[in-house]
Chain A
Amino acid sequence: MKYWNQQIETISRDQLESLQSERLSKTVAHAWEHCAPYRVKMEKAGLQPGNIQGINDLTKLPLTLKDDLRDSYPYGMFAVPMSHVVRIHATSGTTGKQTVVGYTKGDLDVWNECMARCLTMAGATAADIVHVSYGFALFTGGLGGQGGGETIGAATIPAATGNTKRQLQMFTDFGSTVLLCTPSYAMYLGDAVREAGIKDQLKLRIGVLGAEAWTEQMRGEIEERLGIRCYDIFGTAELMGPGVSCECAERNGLHVMEDHFIVEILDPETKKPLPDGQPGELVFSCITKEALPLIRYNTRDICTIDRKPCTCGRNFTRMGKITGRTDDMLIIRGVNVFPSQVESVLLGIPGAAPHYLLVVDRVSNLDTLEVQAEINADFPFDEVRRVEELERRISAELLSVLGVSAKVTLKPPGSVERFELKAKRVLDKRKGTN
């Protein structure tokens, strides 16, 4: 089966835009009526719901930021009474308060529908055994994946994360065919499968991986270790959870579920829309959400979009891979540096392993960047000369890719901390020195 919902997934752009216009004005009116922070923001911008007739009026609306959610912690931006809320999720930010999100029964139905489309796009069917190795609990990945697997009628295992031995046992004994988890956890499980020498006992065929940025090289490594074909899925808790967009079989971008979300790319400085293909901040408007109808929510992810129709038959806009976050973006000696760039350099050099930590400091008013990376266990590290050559090679490639020089420190295999959920790759010692 190619589509979960063929009628909507292959809708023409014209029909889609009129549907988006109708849903946007309805959502704006709903938010104005029931969500005080929106009303205040719109009034400040001199707007009434009547000013928003359709998608051409979208850019008049103020942006919503993660801080707006934090400031209204926990339920201040919910636009329905709590008696209509049936699910709560939360994301723990690295700083300060959690962000709390709520769902009505209708919101969960939309989420399941979107996840079902994503899994179908990746080739999963009711005959599959879906293994969900995201964190459950407050993180949206676990229950989002569970809901999607069940919606397409697949036997869905809430495997969660941790206990690697049991994960592998479920792979072999339960016959998992579709894996849902973060790319770094897939890599970790792939390493464990290699270590245990059980690749030929696996029935896995598809990976639908998301919740963090990853590279094409990493995709190749995961596919090789687990014998699967991997698809990138995107979503954040603030908008819904995984399922906002996903790659189809063509793997030439992630189709955004545009009947539920309007996507824009804005210039990070001016906040003006950028032409298709130019990288900028990824902004979404939820146009069917009831509990938390975020309008023009700035994810601060850096991305590009392509509105051209896809050969898979879908007309939904495709997002490129997320290349970084304006939050994660480090400014080192005036140059923008993303941890994902470092990862792609390390993956491209045999001898280096893609487990790394960026240590940023300021010495005598000059920013310094140190990249701590693991040496590969099979690298001939017995000779100082070879290790130093490897360090120099990594340094040279980092300089050419990042545009800033970095000191490379190689670490023993297995010594850089591993993360099951979102990886922490940066230690910025400059904080507080400004």
Chain B
Amino acid sequence: MFIDQISVFVENKQGALKDILKILADGKIDLRAISIADTSDFGILRMIVPNPDGALELFRSKGVTASKTQVTGCKLSDTPGSLYHVLNTLHDAGISVEYVYAFITRKDEDAYVILRVEDNDAAQKTLLAAGHSLIDPHDLYGI
């Protein structure tokens, strides 16, 4: 149950991020989730969209290099410390998390979290065994 995430490498220069978002807006692409990692030199824009391959093609047609990464989505229960429990479960299993970002949906006010790990299979097994529920990509794309 992988989620296809689209990433774009962005120059750290005024207007660069805006230009990327304009491509999405002009292409009428809905953003389900978005996260930006930035350093002083560059930024990485990561997003979940309903049609990942369509978004890749759109970027390619505009001369922007984008890539697809498989990530794991996990639902968070509506209790304090739930993200901690997710990360702690993975930590105890020796699975390191490259990055994580959370978002809230309109549908049922659930909180979702996207996890980037080296081995999605191992992470998903560990999370399910610990009683966490994973996000079905189709549910996510269709929100």
Which A residues are closer than 8 A to B by beta carbons?
375, 377, 380-385, 387-388, 391, 409-415
Contact = CB atoms under 8 A, between A and B. Distances in A.
B41 A384 contact: no
Given A388-B39, A412-B9, A412-B10, A383 B67 contact: no
B116 A412 contact: no
Contacts of B5: 382
Contacts of A384: 37, 39, 44, 99
A384 to B, nearest CB: 5
A413 B8 CA distance: 10
A382 B39 contact: no
Interface string B116-139: 100000000000000000000000
Contact of A414 (B41, B65, B98): B65
Main secondary structure of the interface of B (DSSP, over half): strand
B11 A387 contact: no
B11 A382 contact: no
Given A384-B37, A412-B11, 13 more contacts: A377-B65, A380-B69, A381-B7, A382-B5, A384-B44, A384-B99, A385-B98, A391-B41, A410-B41, A411-B11, A412-B8, A412-B9, A412-B64
B63 interface: yes
A383 B71 CA distance: 12
A384 B99 CA distance: 9
A412 B9 CA distance: 6
Nearest to A376: B65
Given A388-B39, A412-B10, A383 B98 contact: yes
A382 B116 contact: yes
Contacts of A381: 7, 9, 44, 67
Contact of B65 (A380, A388, A412): A412
Which one of A384, A385, A409 has the highest number of Cβ atoms from chain B below 10 Å of its Cβ?
A384
A409 B40 CA distance: 10
A382 B5 CA distance: 10
- Which among B41, B44, B63, B99 has the greatest number of chain A C-beta atoms within 10 A? B41
Interface in B48-77: 63-65, 67, 69
Contacts of A382: 5, 7, 44, 46, 67, 69, 116
B42 interface: yes
Contact of B67 (A380, A388, A409, A410): A380
Q: Which of A382, A383, A411 has the most CB of B within 10 A?
A: A382
A28 B46 CA distance: 69
B99 A383 contact: yes
B29 to A, nearest CB: 19
Given A381-B44, A388-B39, A414 B63 contact: yes
B28 to A, nearest CB: 23
Which of A381, A388, A391, A413 has most chain B Cβ within 10 Å? Answer: A381
B42 A387 contact: yes
Top 10 closest pairs, chain A to chain B, by CB: A413-B65, A382-B7, A381-B9, A377-B65, A412-B9, A382-B69, A409-B41, A384-B37, A383-B98, A412-B11
Contacts of A415: 11
A427 to B, nearest CB: 15
B69 A410 contact: no
A381 B69 CA distance: 10
Contacts of B99: 383-384
12 contacts: A375-B9, A381-B9, A382-B5, A382-B44, A382-B46, A383-B44, A383-B116, A385-B98, A387-B44, A409-B41, A413-B9, A413-B65
